[in-house]
Amino acid sequence: MDTNIVELVQLLHEARECKNIEEIRIKMGEARSMVEFLDPVSIRQLIISEEGYDSNFIRRLILEDIQQIVESRTKERAVYYINRFVKSITSQQFSKLNDIDLNKWKLYQDILTDSLWIFGKRDSSGDHNADYWGNFIPQIPNQLIRRYTKKGDVVVDGFLGSGTTLIECKKLGRSCIGIELSQKAADIAKEKNSPEDEDKKLFQEVVVGDSQSVDISRILSDHGKKDAKLIILHPPYWDIIKFSSAQNDLSNAADEESFLKMMENVVRNLSSHLERDRYLAVVIGDKYSAGSWIPLGFHTMDRITSLGFRLKSIVVKNFDRTRAKREEKDLWRYRALRGGFYVFKHEYIFIFQKSG
Ligand SMILES: C[S@@+](CC[C@H](N)C(=O)[O-])C[C@H]1O[C@@H](n2cnc3c(N)ncnc32)[C@H](O)[C@@H]1O
């Protein structure tokens, strides 16, 4: 351990032994000056983390912890906060699910825990671009992957499209099996999966096929994996965008019932490779037809729960037709005012856990 950290921990131990809150506050004043002058390398060592957070951000969080101790009204409360603080800088606590160090939960301010996700601009860094009509913003798979998997785990995306999930998996050190019916879309995804930057321990496989029936067990076993740890599904929102003319394309389902049956088939097929207690995320929006709002999202949700999945969360995400022209937006506003309905501004991310 860095000598500065040893000194800080020593100071915290001394603070814990103080006779009263006033003495604790004096000790914490010393701790504060120490943290204020620690160099960036030592600051980062205070937080044993691979996430690469900025040292100024970490320093601010630590100073906030110290301030909380200073502001405690009783010695008992201050000692409670000191113990928590010592734990956060001397030990780590991980669950089976992800790489989030629960002893440093305050650090992960960019990991969402509320059920309303409002994103501004799409992340267009690295290989991401918005060219594929109907793709989702990279922030969605990014949040899901960090929340529900560890480094090295396998993520399955049953509607890979142009490969957004694949890029995020690669960036975050996860393996990915992406299934896509359209050869054209799969080719775009494969292009982004350039072999020269592949990590040997990780794999990124693009399978051209129908997620209702494709068998991914060979791919898993070829890579020495027993199962997947997360499934992400971003299906067509029934026929809102026609992706191809193939009969088994979900965007060509003859009616809502057929769409829901196809979704059931996909979930049944792919989840047979999902480890028990692991997560399935479905990103889907609703549809408007012949004067009625069709709650495609909730209907899909019902089918998946009836397959035995536990519903963990319904996330509402903002949605904007960024490509739509001003006139098109105005037209929808006019139609809404005339027709007594509201224009779609949200979609859902349903989070399920495989319980059976
Ligand atoms: C909403 S898009 C997914 C976009 C993707 N998330 C991205 O960021 O590029 C849905 C995709 O599902 C594909 N698809 C439709 N039916 C399918 C099926 N039965 N099996 C696999 N893929 C299918 C479509 O070709 C389309 O690319």
pLDDT tens digits, one per residue of 201-230: 899 999 999 999 999 999 999 999 999 999
- Report the pLDDT value the prediction gives residue 201, as an integer from 0 to 100: 85
Count the residues in the chain. 356
Was domain 116-354 assigned CATH 3.90.1150.10?
A: no
pLDDT tens digits, one per residue of 139-175: 999 999 999 999 999 999 999 999 999 999 999 999 9
- Pocket perturbation via mutation, ligand 1, pick of 124, 159, 270 by most ligand atoms within 8 A of CB: 159
Please calculate the CA angle 110-111-115 and round it to the nearest 5 degrees: 115
For residue 129, is pLDDT > 80? no
More confident: 107 or 266 = 266
Pick from 194, 55, 187, 197: nearest CA to 131: 187
User: Rounded CA gap, 174 and 289, in Å?
Assistant: 39
**26: Cβ contacts below 8 Å, ≥ 6 apart:** none
- Report the pLDDT value the prediction gives residue 198, as an integer from 0 to 100: 58
**20: Cβ contacts below 8 Å, ≥ 6 apart:** 75
For residue 92, the CA-to-ligand 1 centroid distance in Å is 39
Q: Is the CB of 4 under 6 A from ligand 1?
A: no
- Report the pLDDT value the prediction gives residue 145, as an integer from 0 to 100: 98
- Pocket perturbation via mutation, ligand 1, pick of 119, 165, 168, 180 by most ligand atoms within 8 A of CB: 180
Which residue reads 């995320």 in tokens? 281
Q: What is the mean pLDDT of residues 32-51?
A: 79
- Report the pLDDT value the prediction gives residue 126, as an integer from 0 to 100: 73
Q: Is the CB of 243 under 6 A from ligand 1?
A: yes
- Report the pLDDT value the prediction gives residue 327, as an integer from 0 to 100: 84
Q: Is the CB of 249 under 6 A from ligand 1?
A: yes
More confident: 321 or 92 = 92
Q: Is the CB of 138 under 6 A from ligand 1?
A: no
Instruction: Report the C-alpha dihedral over residues 46, 51, 52, 55, rounded to 10 degrees.
Output: -40
Q: Is the CB of 332 under 6 A from ligand 1?
A: no
User: Rounded CA gap, 37 and 215, in Å?
Assistant: 57
Q: Is the CB of 211 under 6 A from ligand 1?
A: yes
More confident: 52 or 164 = 164
For residue 210, the CA-to-ligand 1 centroid distance in Å is 10
pTM of the full predicted structure?
Answer: 0.92
User: Rounded CA gap, 263 and 238, in Å?
Assistant: 10
Q: Is the CB of 139 under 6 A from ligand 1?
A: no
Q: Is the CB of 185 under 6 A from ligand 1?
A: yes
**350 neighbors 300 (Cβ within 8 angstroms):** yes
Domain residue spans of the chain: 3-105, 116-354
User: Rounded CA gap, 80 and 71, in Å?
Assistant: 13
- Report the pLDDT value the prediction gives residue 1, as an integer from 0 to 100: 64
pLDDT tens digits, one per residue of 57-66: 889 999 999 9
Atom 17, ligand 1: which residue's CA is nearest?
Answer: 249
For residue 151, the CA-to-ligand 1 centroid distance in Å is 25
Counting residues of the chain whose pLDDT is more than 70, the rounded percentage is 95
Ligand 1, closest atom to CA 237?
1
User: Rounded CA gap, 346 and 49, in Å?
Assistant: 34
Q: What is the mean pLDDT of the chain?
A: 91
Q: What is the DSSP string of 166-217?
A: HHHHHHHT-EEEEEES-HHHHHHHHHHS-GGG--TT--EEEEES-TTT---H
- Pocket perturbation via mutation, ligand 1, pick of 243, 259, 270 by most ligand atoms within 8 A of CB: 243
For residue 161, the CA-to-ligand 1 centroid distance in Å is 5
User: Rounded CA gap, 81 and 89, in Å?
Assistant: 13
Q: Is the CB of 210 under 6 A from ligand 1?
A: yes
For residue 49, is pLDDT > 60? no
- Report the pLDDT value the prediction gives residue 38, as an integer from 0 to 100: 86
For residue 82, is pLDDT > 90? yes
More confident: 50 or 247 = 247
User: Rounded CA gap, 96 and 50, in Å?
Assistant: 17
pLDDT tens digits, one per residue of 259-276: 999 999 999 999 999 999
pLDDT bracket for residue 195 (50, 70, 90) = low
